Structure formats: structure tokens, C-alpha cells
Structure 1
Amino acid sequence: MIATVVWGTGNVGRAAIRAVDAHPALKLAAVLVHNPDKVGRDAGDLAGLDVELGIAATDDVDAVLAASPGAVVYAASGDIRPDDALADITRAIRAGAVVVTPSLYALYDRHGAPPELRDPVLAAVEAGGGSLFVSGVDPGWANDVMPLLVSGLGSVVDGIRCQEVFDYSTYDQPDAVRFLIGFGQPMDYQAPMLMETVPTMVWGGQIRLMARALGVELDEIRETVDRRALDDTVTTRTMGEFEAGTQGAVRFEVQGIVGGEPRIVVEHVTRIHPSCATDWPLPPSGSGAHKVIIEGRPRIEVSIEADDEGENRSAGGNATAVGRLVNAVDWLVEADPGLYDALDVPLRPAAGKIGRTPR
């Protein structure tokens, strides 16, 4: 079995511990945490499982990597600490580990990644013999392998739209929701995630990757952003009150332009409450869904909903993103050392998992 470390125990890390524990080819070897209050706690407790896994969380990175794990699921955030995340990841690669992570947006498409990110990774691969696969937590499969798969069912494809439609009122991550995206902030607040060029920095790699797979040349990548204010003050279960007049809904697109038209689009429609911007697309049911829409002949629309962690409805998207990453580990261990993206790593069936009960 492949000794696997989970680094970070937030929304992504909790799901990663559960996924590693459930995988028949992987063995949870260690859990790395930053918060001193989590040191010593059992991994099963941190992951919200009903059983202990016999692995106590630690903050000793040196000791964990010195044990030469086969793989690291890097679940620590890269949103506001990209340099630190890159340093952590290259450190693990130099230790010989296969690393899978959603934390380095610019490496979604390895061909178009900036040299300042790609070169340190390649140097670490050369030095240590490890590998890296980056896929999005939004989740990545919804913006790469899934739309590409569905596009192959059409006779004529005029455009591809990857759409996230979500109610964030159940999302237990206030820093991201309130400050990165700007929900509950005044309408003149400059949310970092919505600043000009940032959406392209985050999702442009997925646009380029799809264009590469489809064999089309992009004229450019454009962005559109629209925001709506709350008409009334609302109270959420996980993040408290959001006042009337503050930002309550966001709709943005990252558009791959082909022949002067937006042909490959990643769109997010997100709200802090379902009462806001009701004229925008709504999820077919529940709090959210990921959609792939193929415009052409025939027109194809696929909607996927995932639930996890009970009332934390948004955790389903995290869990599927983690599943894509964790399920790639044994394939990556067998592959040559290197830097991989979603076109390299196959989307694999749940071999050996049907009917299997994690410990």
C-alpha cells in the first residue's frame, strides 16, 4: 500500500483523510496541521469520522517527510499564501513523494503555467523524483475532463459552458466567503477574487487546457463580472448575518474567445441566500450544482449534485474534487516522475471500492 500523508485539515483536508482511508491502495501515514490546537488529535476525529484511525496529527513536517511517504495530498490553502504553498509542495516532491493538490491555480494547465511556478516544480522533480498533479477544488473535473467527455457526444459543438450555481449560506469558510469573494461587504468593496485579471489567473488554465484538448486556438481570454446587493438582511447557519445593501450575489465568466466569440466558458453564479438575484440561474434542487452545457447539435446539458458532511451542503463539491485527486495517486506512483495536468491523468473508475467499508 502507498503511504500517504494529508497536509491540512480544513474543508479539503477533512475530505482527503476520508478518501485516503477509503482507498484500497492507500494507507494513511500521517496528518500535518498548522493549528497547535489540532496537534495530537486523531485523524478520524479531525475528519468527522465515527472511528479513530490511530494517526495523531502533527506539525513536524521534517519528521513526516523524512519517513519518505509515497504520496502527499496537499490540502492547505494557496489562496492567500501561494508562495508558501509552492515551497511546501516542492519540498514534498524533493522528498520523492507524488503530490496532488488544488492549491496552485496556475498549474491547472502545465503547458501554459508561468515559468516562476513551473520551473521550481520541474527542478524539484529532477532532484527528488516525485511528481505533481493539480486539479481544482471548484471542482476541477467540472471544468476539464467532464466537459471534454460530454463534448464527444455531440455531432456539432458550437460552445462549451461549465457552470457552478451555488448558495454559499451553508459553506463553513467565512474568510473566503466574506473577504476573498466579498459577500456581506459594501458594494464598493474590492474583493480580491473578483479583481481584474484574477478570475483569469484562477480559471484561465482550465480554459487553455480545454482549448488544447479540442484543438482550437484561442484569440484571447476575457472576463465579465456582475454583482447584486441583498434586498433584505439574512442570517446563515454557518456564518451569521449578512446585511441588506451588501453584496449578496456574484456572477462572473471567464471566456475563451475563438473566432471572436466566447466558445469555451467557465461561469460561476453564487449567492449568500437564495432570495438574491432570482433572475440568474438557480440550482435544479438543493443548494447547488455543477453543470456542463454543450451548445450545438444536439444541445446537451448535464447537472451534477453531490452532498457530504450532512448540513454542510457545499462539502459535496470539495469531496468530489478530493476524489479526483486521491484516486489519481496510485496511477501517478506508477507513472514517470513529472508535472501532470488533467489531460494526462485519466478519470478512473472506483476499482475495488464498491461495497468496501472503510475502517
Structure 2
Amino acid sequence: MNILFRFGESRNLTFALPSSNYTQFFYPNYFKAYFVEDFLMKIWPNYDIMCHHMRFKLTEVEKVMPNDTFYFTIMRNPVSLMESSFSYYKNLDVFVNAYSLEDYLNNSYKYYKQTNINHSYGKNLMAFDLGLEQNERESPKHFKLARKAIDTMFNLVLITEYFDESLILLKDALCWGFDDVLSFPLNFRNDTSRNVLTEETQEKIRTWNQLDWQLYIYFNNSLWEKVDKFGRDRMQNEVQELQRRRSTLSEICLQGQIDPTKIKDKFLRPFQAGISRILGYDLKPGLQKSERLRCHRLVTPELQYSSLLSNKQNQQKNNITIISPKIHINGQKSGQRAP
């Protein structure tokens, strides 16, 4: 999200933002076009970027976004995703009564209820977010149809465990430069909240989240097929260049990743929604003005950045004169389009 926020802000693109200052598109409900701020008012001639969290529904997204929109998403190994979800959202109804992740997996019939408000976190979370049914009867045919649906809807599926390779493929697909996909790790948990899982527990996670696992295996293989077409040597060189630039920028910008309570600039403190501590950054003192702005944006958490973009678009609305039934926009906006 930070990559897309910075790309759009720097080019004065229009974001499809959640209405009513929400931070997500009314998740876990399926996305609806009217969830987008100002959509019904038709203030903007088009939206360029939509990237806030939602339960995906293509037909509704297509009502908002242009026909030539590039769709991409990201998948994560269901084992680490399940460990992270359980650790972070332990206080939610779907997990709260389980003594441990192992207890939850061993007694899922007792803890996992589709009537739970937060049941989406408890099983096949990726499939749920992508708009699929997470509790369909599992069969090779069902897995094949799910893979085909995602393959059809998305131009590119990134993989968390190969994030840099994914970014290079994204950069190539969108004709972007290295600086457009530079980023620092955000939304990162402290080590004390991470649990080392036995192989037995990992296998139980894969079995319980079988749909997610089948999707992950397929799109992980798909990623590497794209890498082969891109060229392995070329990929290695570009990943090294991306990492070199990130390291250089880190030396310029950051004092380090620290506990949020110790971050001096309160604006840069990440929101703590769960029980695990989310780390953040302090910037180095003495940065030049242009450097400081760039560094600041690179480590601005999601909620604060969303607020910045919302305020900016609200100010732009003040320059729009509506004369029924036509809309006149004062000034011109960049026609460059992002996902």
C-alpha cells in the first residue's frame, strides 16, 4: 500500500478511498461500488488507484475502476499467515477461547463457527479476501476452479516470501522504475510474539487451510514461471539492484526499527489493533527537506497515509464546481494511471 500511496501522491492521481473515513472497504462484507467516497456523487471523472483492504468482488470493482485497470494481489504461505493471524487476533471471537494455535487446530469444530463475526480469520483467509467461499467442499475440481478464477481476475499475483522478485515483476509489468517499488518493511511484528511451529502443526495448518494452500502452491509456481520468462540472471541482477538501493536509502533515512512507544514523531507510530506489538521507525536527524519528506513518506503507516490522501482529495474537491447535470473540473490532472 505504501508503494501505491507514494506513486499516486507524487503524480497527483485519484484514489478510490473508503467512504466515511473508514480504513477499509467495510470488510468483511463483499465490496460494493458505493463504499467508495464520492462515487455516487460522481465528482471524479475517473479513479486511478484502489488499494485499501476489501473482500474482493470484481463486478463491483469494475463499476469504479477504468476498463484498462491492472489488477494484482499478493499471497502468503498459509502456515506463516495462520500463525500471524492467531497471534495478532487472539482476542477476536474466532480465536479467543482457544488456549493455543495447536488447541485451535485440534478442536476447530469447537472454536470455528461461520456465525463468528470474525470467522474469516479462522480458515482460508486468502480465499475469503479474494471473494471465494472458504468452506466449500474440497475436491480437485473445486481447487482447479478457484485457481482459474483468480488467474482470470488478476494480471499478477505477488508472493510475500519472494517479495523482491515480485516487485521486479510488478515494475516490469507496469513499466515503472526501481524508485517506484522501493520500500521498507512495514506492519512488522516484534520477535517475541512469533511462535516456532512444529512440522506437525504446520501440516495441520496446511490441511485446515487446504484451499489457501492449493492457491499458494499454484501461484508460487506461476511466479517462478514468470521469472523464467523474465530471465533468471536478469532477475538476480535487478533484485540485487533493488536491495542495494533499499540499503542505501535505509542508511540515509532510518535510525532503526523500534518499539512504537519509543518513536519520537507520534505521526509515525503504527496503529496497534491486535495483541502483538507492531514496530515502526525513527528518522535520522538533520535530513535535508526533500530527503526528509521522502523518508517520512516511506515509513508513514497506513492509517496516517490514508488520512493524508483523504485530506488532499477533499481540498481538491473545493476546486470542483458542480453545475447540474454537468461536472466542471478546474485545472487538469495527470492522465497517468496506476493499478
Scaled by the length of structure 2, the TM-score of the pair is 0.33
Between Structure 1 and Structure 2, whose CA radius of gyration is higher?
2
Name the structure with the higher helix share.
Answer: 2
Q: Greater share of strand residues, 1 or 2?
A: 1
> Normalising to structure 1: TM-score of the pair?
0.32
